[in-house]
Amino acid sequence: MSGAGDREAVFPTRQSLGAMKNKLKGAETGHSLLKRKSEALTKYRAEITRRIDEAKRKMGRVMQIAAFSLAEVTYAVGGDIGYQIQESAKQARFRVRTKQENVSGVFLPQFESYTTEGNNDFGLTGLGKGGQQVQRCRETYTRAVETLVELASLQTAFVTLDEVIKVVNRRVNAIEHVIIPRTENTIKYINSELDELDREEFYRLKKVKSNKQRDNNAAEQEEKASKRRGSDKENADDPGATDILGEQEDQDVIF
């Protein structure tokens, strides 16, 4: 085989050589673009990882405070108010909306939390005693849930990003290690085939030329030989030399 590696099944023609060259150029451009994208994404992922780390630490602290404020409520109210709270909550006060962020062509989902104002379903809980603690506890838990939403947003972004980075890296590697070498191989193969053809052609031409020359030479020789033979005969007896003034009857010239 010409070319050590695999190559594409093309006919080694000039046209396909041109196509291959275009393809190689395209692959190289694509490779550098993808490489840059992958680098950008990896950088972004590192940033997200750092933020996830921060958010997780924050969550630990906030959840601890929140759990403790619940303990305060239990202490102040002196009983379980869970059922009452559950039943009196009718509408979600804390809501989450999603949006998309575009990071080098990747759409990352983002969660955004917001509280609907004026929605205070259990504002009267613990009216007799412990109401302040209940409200405070709600605030701390709101903060805790905010942290959770933030973390969820980051984690989802991370997972999506990770997937995309994997795909991009796979593409980069595929281009770098498969497509480019293969195209190069093909080009090499086409080149070598074309050279081969060239050489064959050249050889053929040479052969034709040499044959022709040989033939010419032979013809020349023969001509020469026959010429020499002819002059000898002329010299020896020249039957052709007729006496035009002789007695041979002239042929009638008929007009």
- Write down the least CB distance from residue 83 to other proteins, Å: 6
What interhelical angle do 14-77 and 131-174 show, nearest 10?
170
- Choose, by CB under 8 A, the member of 9, 14, 128, 241 that binds other proteins: 128
124 binds other proteins (CB under 8 A): yes
23-62: contacts with other proteins (CB under 8 A): none
Q: Which is nearer to other proteins, 10 or 65 (CB)?
A: 65
Burial of 48 (0-12, 13-18, 19+ CB in 10 A): buried
Q: How many residues bind other proteins (CB under 8 A)?
A: 29
Q: Tell me: does residue 67 bind other proteins (CB under 8 A).
A: yes
SS (H, E, C) 22-57: HHHHHHHHHHHHHHHHHHHHHHHHHHHHHHHHHHHH
Min CB(36)–other proteins separation in Å: 48
**Can you read off the two tokens belonging to residue 135?**
């409200």
Q: Is 142 in the site for other proteins (CB under 8 A)?
A: no
Instruction: Transcribe 214-241 into DSSP letters.
Output: HHHHHHHHHHHHHHHHHHHHHHH--TT-
Binding range to other proteins, per CB under 8 A, among 117-125, 150-158, 178-186, 217-225: 117-125
- Other C-beta atoms within 10 Å of 223: how many? 10
Nearer to other proteins, 69 or 147 (CB): 69
The residues, ordered by sequence, that sit 6+ positions from 103 with a Cβ below 8 Å of its Cβ are: 40, 41, 44, 161
Choice between 57 and 206, CB closer to other proteins: 57
Q: Which C-beta is closer to other proteins: that of 75 or that of 203?
A: 75
Among 100, 123, 207, 213, binds other proteins (CB under 8 A): 123
Strands (E), the chain: 94-103, 106-115
Catalog residues that contact other proteins under the rule CB under 8 A. Answer: 64, 67-68, 71-72, 74-76, 78-80, 83-84, 87-88, 120, 123-133, 135-136
